[in-house]
């Protein structure tokens, strides 16, 4: 039990260290900006205590400040102690390096600038590594999908082999009467891969979990109702079950897809605009304009697309003399991108602290450009995996259903005028229905996996889930009505 608890603590400490590594570049940016304006890093840590966007570093800052102000310890002593305790190598290097620079009488500002540049370069390298990991994960997931569908083909091939003694398909009823294992297997495997990718990547958009939960509360009842009706054979004489499943999954996913698309367009426009706005503010500050006038000047540029409405609101509020902190609250109500919010939050803090110097704003513009470029490059590198998923899922769904249909035809042809042929035809139709439903649902789930991989949130998977489910439904339709199977192809050749 003791070993298990220690293992749990180690795992928790590693996750804590990973969260520190994610937030640390922006903490160093803030401290560097403050130091360039003559504010000590300890005062910057006190300001970090109010940064809700950096929850992990907020707790770290609270801990450091408490030890200094309540226990009366020296700030450098506390920082050295923290450096020895943390599992984050980057945090350890930052705290230890800062304390060493102060003790040796070196330039704190130069150290912080150097550390800020190196940590963003390190973030870019980590982003490329994460893309490689995600790419390998996508490839493994696609291979698993192919293996599952191949397993379906093997099962149908075995069940469609005529029994030489009685003329019935061997164990044909076992698959069609007990489809649960066939339907559960891909769901379990998809769940495993989704859990893994959840640990590997995260979204820059805040609050997407709420959209996903709200959407699933609408979708899940529909899936449960269909499952119950299918078990009670209530679809007899109606449209085939695979088409009902496909239509329900697509229809219930449309609203969340549109909601996410609206959020995505706004936040991607904000992420494209933010580095340019911060750069314009820094350049305008060099001319001697006040920080507020610099922001107004930067925000009056055209071409911010969906973000233009927010920018106009900022300009209006500044011209009416609204405080910067209130303006930031307005931005936060309309923008969900963590990258955009943290950069504007740092800008607000720097200006309100009297640190809106040209050098400080230049540092902020530089760090924001690095951060946004890293995220944009990562997104571009992951885009091709969307096409891979569509090609593989589309082809495997179509070819698997075509082969399954062909085995059914071969079995019926082999039986000839056997009196049990009608029973075999019924069993083949039931198997085809089961596999069709499984292929559609499997394709729909794959959309969420691809969405998580490419954008960091499962909520973006609705658009991919719709198109993949539609692709699989069309494959079922083609196999059902176009009479495309192996036997017809062989007959055409002959």
pLDDT number for residue 208: 81
From the list 268, 300, 297, the residue with the least C-alpha distance to 283 is: 297
Rounded to 5°, angle at Cα 392 from 386 and 396: 150
> Is 400 in a helix, a strand, or coil?
helix
The DSSP secondary-structure symbol of 456 reads: S
Q: Return left, alpha or beta for 467; rule: phi > 0 is left, psi -120 to 50 is alpha, else beta.
A: alpha
Burial class (CB in 10 A: 0-12, 13-18, 19+), 97: middle
117: confidence class by pLDDT, cuts 50, 70, 90: confident
For helices 108-159 and 89-104, the axis angle rounded to 10 degrees is: 170
Percent of the chain with pLDDT over 90: 0
- 136-145, 167-176, 268-277: range with highest mean pLDDT: 268-277
pTM: 0.79
Rounded to 5°, angle at Cα 467 from 461 and 471: 135
What is the Rg, in whole angstroms, of the alpha carbon atoms belonging to the chain? 29
Is pLDDT above 60 for 156?
Answer: yes
Tokens at residue 158, please? 């075995």
Total residue count of the chain as it appears in this document: 494
Q: CB atoms < 10 A from the CB of 429, how many?
A: 14
Question: What CA–CA distance (Å, rounded) separates 220 from 139?
Answer: 28
485: confidence class by pLDDT, cuts 50, 70, 90: low
The DSSP secondary-structure symbol of 441 reads: H
pLDDT in tens, 369-400: 887 887 887 778 777 777 777 777 777 767 76
Between residues 119 and 238, which one has the greater pLDDT? 119
pLDDT number for residue 446: 85
DSSP string, 328-354: HHHHHHH--BHHHHHHHHHHHHHHHTT
pLDDT number for residue 409: 56
Question: What CA–CA distance (Å, rounded) separates 128 from 217?
Answer: 36
DSSP string, 124-155: HHHHHHHHHHHHHHHHHHHHHHHHHHHHHHHH
pLDDT in tens, 23-48: 888 888 888 888 877 777 888 888 88
- Cβ-proximal residues to 465 (8 Å cutoff; 6+ apart), any chain: 249, 253, 443, 444, 445, 446, 447, 448, 451
Between residues 436 and 197, which one has the greater pLDDT? 197
343: confidence class by pLDDT, cuts 50, 70, 90: confident
83: confidence class by pLDDT, cuts 50, 70, 90: confident
Phi, psi at residue 268, to the nearest 5°?
-70, -35
pLDDT number for residue 181: 65
Q: CB atoms < 10 A from the CB of 110, how many?
A: 11
Mean pLDDT, residues 479-491 taken together: 56
């Amino acid at each position: 039990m003791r070993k298990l608890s220690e293992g749990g603590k180690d795992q928790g400490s590693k996750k804590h260290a990973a969260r520190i590594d994610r937030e640390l570049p922006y903490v160093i940016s803030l401290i560097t900006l403050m130091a360039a304006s003559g504010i000590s890093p300890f005062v910057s840590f006190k300001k970090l205590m109010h940064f809700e966007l950096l929850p992990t570093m907020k707790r770290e800052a609270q801990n450091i400040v408490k030890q200094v102000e309540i226990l009366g310890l020296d700030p450098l002593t506390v920082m050295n102690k923290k450096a020895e305790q943390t599992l984050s190598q980057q945090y350890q290097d930052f705290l230890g390096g800062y304390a060493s620079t102060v003790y040796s009488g070196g330039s704190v500002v130069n150290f912080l600038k150097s550390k800020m540049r190196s940590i963003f370069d390190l973030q870019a390298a980590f982003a490329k590594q994460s893309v490689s990991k995600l790419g390998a994960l996508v490839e493994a997931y696609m291979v698993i999908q192919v293996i599952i569908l191949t397993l379906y083909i093997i099962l149908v091939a075995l069940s469609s082999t005529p029994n030489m003694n009685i003329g019935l398909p061997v164990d044909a009823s076992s698959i069609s009467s007990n489809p649960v294992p066939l339907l559960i297997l891909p769901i379990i495997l998809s769940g495993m891969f989704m859990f893994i990718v959840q640990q590997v990547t995260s979204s820059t958009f805040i609050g997407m979990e709420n959209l996903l939960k709200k959407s699933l509360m609408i979708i899940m009842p529909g899936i449960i109702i269909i499952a119950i009706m299918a078990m009670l054979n209530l679809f007899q004489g109606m449209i085939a079950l695979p088409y009902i499943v496909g239509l329900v999954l697509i229809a219930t996913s449309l609203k969340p897809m549109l909601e996410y698309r609206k959020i995505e367009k706004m936040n991607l426009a904000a992420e494209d605009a933010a580095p340019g706005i911060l750069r314009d503010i820094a350049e305008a500050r060099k001319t001697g304009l006040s920080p507020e006038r610099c922001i107004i000047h930067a925000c009056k540029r055209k071409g911010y697309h969906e973000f233009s409405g927010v920018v106009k609101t900022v300009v209006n509020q500044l011209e009416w003399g609204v405080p910067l902190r209130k303006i930031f609250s307005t931005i936060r109500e309309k923008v969900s991108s963590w990258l955009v919010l943290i950069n504007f939050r740092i800008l607000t803090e720097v200006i309100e602290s009297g640190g809106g110097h040209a050098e400080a704003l230049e540092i902020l513009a530089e760090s924001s450009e690095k951060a946004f470029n890293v995220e944009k490059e990562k997104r571009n590198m992951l885009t091709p995996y969307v096409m891979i998923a569509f090609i593989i899922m589309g082809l495997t769904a179509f070819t698997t259903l075509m082969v399954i249909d062909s085995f059914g035809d071969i079995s019926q042809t082999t039986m000839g005028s056997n009196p049990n042929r009608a029973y075999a035809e019924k069993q083949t139709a039931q198997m085809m229905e089961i596999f069709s439903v499984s292929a559609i649902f499997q394709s729909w789930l794959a959309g969420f996996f691809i969405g998580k991989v490419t954008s960091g949130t499962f909520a973006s998977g609705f658009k991919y889930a719709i198109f993949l489910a539609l692709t699989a439904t069309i494959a079922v339709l083609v196999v059902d009505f176009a009479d495309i199977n192996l036997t017809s192809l062989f007959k055409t050749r002959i």
